[in-house]
């Protein structure tokens, strides 16, 4: 029963079955599946989707749907992990958000989901995040990485404002900064002093791992 429950969890991700994600997760818990194994099955599946997207075998809507499955299923599994007093060690901590003035969430959400699937502890601040909110989150959470997304040319400079804020607060050397978004490129990242740039969500994860030597 345990093996079937794990296979069902994998299938809801790779088949983009958003409607049955929560119920499948609940059935896995009811079947007595080790919640750590259940979480690993879900994250392995989303990582496979991300890899296929990176190779051009799948498309953005596929990645979005798979991420939605994970968002619905993982809270149920996480609740069971906490209930049983279990934990899995994170490979690093990331604070992520879309900068002030920008309400685009899909790209940022993809990066957050794939980072989680890769073993990172992810603190998602959401969209339209002000510079001071990023700074506060860095102070309070002490992340290894700060990841910022900007999907508009007019909001791209907000990423620079946050980096300048980190410098003023004496925090710049305490956190690696990754940026991304459609108007962003490596040249821009270099010009504002970011540590890394990812053109796609899977690229963002690769950069994060590289910066932490993973």
Q: Domain coordinates of the chain in residue numbers?
A: 2-83, 92-211
Q: What is the pLDDT of residue 189?
A: 96
In degrees, to the nearest 5, what angle opens at C-alpha 60 toward C-alphas 127 and 94? 40
Domain 92-211 superfamily per CATH? Cobalamin-binding domain (3.40.50.280)
Specify which residues 120 forms β-bridges with.
Answer: 92
Measured CA to CA, the distance from residue 84 to residue 106 in angstroms comes to 33
DSSP assignment, residue 117? H
Q: Which strands make up the sheet holding 92-98, listed edge to edge?
A: 120-124, 92-98, 145-149, 176-180, 196-198
Q: Which residue from 46, 28, 50, 26 is spatially nearest to 38, judged by alpha carbons?
A: 28
pLDDT of residue 19: 96
Give φ, ψ of 102 to 5 degrees.
-125, 125
pTM for the full model?
A: 0.81
194, 125 in Cβ contact below 8 A?
no
pLDDT at 1: 56
Q: Going by CATH, does the domain composed of 2-83 fall within 1.20.120.10?
A: no
Ordered mean pLDDT values, 10 residues apiece, the chain (214 residues): 88 96 96 91 90 88 90 90 80 96 88 88 95 98 97 93 97 97 93 94 91 92
Q: What is the pLDDT of residue 54?
A: 82
For residue 135, the model assigns a pLDDT of 98
What is the predicted pLDDT for the residue at 196? 96
């Amino acid at each position: 029963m345990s093996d079937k429950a794990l296979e069902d969890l994998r299938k809801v991700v790779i088949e983009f079955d958003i409607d049955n994600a929560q119920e499948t997760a609940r059935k896995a818990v009811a079947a007595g599946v080790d919640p750590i194994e259940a979480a690993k099955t879900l994250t392995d599946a989303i990582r496979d989707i991300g890899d296929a997207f990176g190779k051009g075998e799948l498309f953005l809507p596929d990645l979005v749907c798979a991420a939605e499955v994970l968002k619905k299923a993982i809270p149920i599994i996480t609740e069971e992990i906490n209930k049983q007093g279990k934990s899995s060690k994170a490979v690093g901590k990331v604070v992520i958000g879309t900068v002030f003035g920008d309400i685009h969430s899909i790209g940022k959400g993809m990066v957050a989901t794939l980072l989680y699937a890769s073993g990172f502890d992810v603190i998602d601040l959401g969209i339209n995040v002000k510079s001071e909110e990023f700074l506060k989150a860095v102070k309070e959470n002490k992340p290894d990485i700060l990841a910022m997304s900007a999907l508009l040319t007019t909001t791209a400079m907000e990423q620079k404002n946050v980096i300048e804020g980190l410098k003023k607060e004496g925090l710049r050397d305490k956190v690696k900064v990754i940026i991304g978004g459609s108007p962003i490129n490596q040249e821009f990242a270099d010009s504002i002093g970011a540590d890394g740039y990812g053109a796609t969500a899977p690229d963002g994860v690769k950069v994060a791992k590289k910066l932490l030597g993973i």
